[in-house]
Each structure stands twice: as C-alpha cells, then as structure tokens.
Amino acid sequence: MILDRELQLELLSKIAECYPFVWTDYERKPDSAEYHKIAINLNYLKGHGLLTENSTKVVHSKSGDGGGSILIMKPQITEKGLDFLKDDGGLSAILGVVTVRFEADTIRTILQLKVDQSDLSPVDKQKLRGALQELPAENIKHLSTKIVDAGWDNLGSLMSLIQSSLF
C-alpha cells in the first residue's frame, strides 16, 4: 500500500524541524515513484489536519478517467501535527481538558430521584427527601464523595452497571 506509517512519521518529523517554516528538502521530480509516494503520504497527513492546506495540491485529470496528479507545494506542519509528535499530546491535551462540575442542587436532585425510585416505603422516602433537602452544600459534597467511594469499593457491581448502561 502506498500509505506508509513509517514514512509519514519520518516526513512529519522532518517538517517539524523546519517549524514555523515550510519544508523544502524533498524529491523534486514529480514523475518519480519516490515523489509520488511522498506526495500521497503528505496529502494524507494534510487530510488529518497535521499539515497546512497548502502542503499539497491535487490536480484532477481533464479526461474524466478519475486520474490526475498530486503536487507537493509548501509542506508546513500545524499545531495539531506538532502535538501529535509529542508523547504528552502537547498543548492540545492541556487545552482539551474538560472539567465537569456538579452543583449541590443538581446532586441533591439526582439523589432525591434515586430515593423516589427505591423500594423504600413512602414514609421513609419522604423522610430521606426531606433530609436531603435540608443538607447544606458542603454535606452534599461529602455525601457525594462517600457515594463514589462506595462505588469503588463495589467495583465489580459498578463495572457491571457501567457495561449494562453502555452496551
């Protein structure tokens, strides 16, 4: 196959060494097999956003036979390409972190729904709902931590629950 992972990594690394400038040290004979292989792999990397749009140019055949040629223009690595080369994911990993925060009222509502869905008697449900409603935010936070701990302590059951929810 013309797509070559080793070649792609080699090309990306060479182009990264030129950053922020374009890479110019490549085979210049468009009719050669080496040029064609490099051009195809550069175009593939460009398609994944690892190289800039002006790195390659596809020229479609006018004969309508579906053929054409591919030209190496100005290969230049993108920030995504640089981050791909980093073992730690680069800035994309840092900037892409998503923090999920639940407000006390949200957790309280979830807990109250779970109480309502439980097998407890209506009187016990009402007592628990009332107690949850009166809990201060700090106590809700502490209770949430205890619930997570209980989940980890029962990891087998937790994993079964997660799997049944996902599949």
Question: Residue 73: what pLDDT?
Answer: 94
pLDDT, one tens digit per residue, over 115-137 is: 999 999 999 999 989 998 998 99
Higher-confidence position of 167 and 25? 25
Given a cut of 80, whether residue 2 has pLDDT beyond it is: yes
Please state the domain extents for the chain.
Answer: 5-95, 104-166
pLDDT tier, 1 (very low <50, low <70, confident <90, very high otherwise): low
Question: Residue 79: what pLDDT?
Answer: 93
pLDDT, one tens digit per residue, over 43-91 is: 999 999 999 999 999 988 887 777 888 899 999 999 999 999 987 877 8
| Euclidean distance between CA atoms 42 and 34, whole angstroms | 12
| Euclidean distance between CA atoms 7 and 11, whole angstroms | 6
- Could you tell me which CATH number the domain at 5-95 has? 1.10.10
> What is the reported pTM?
0.58
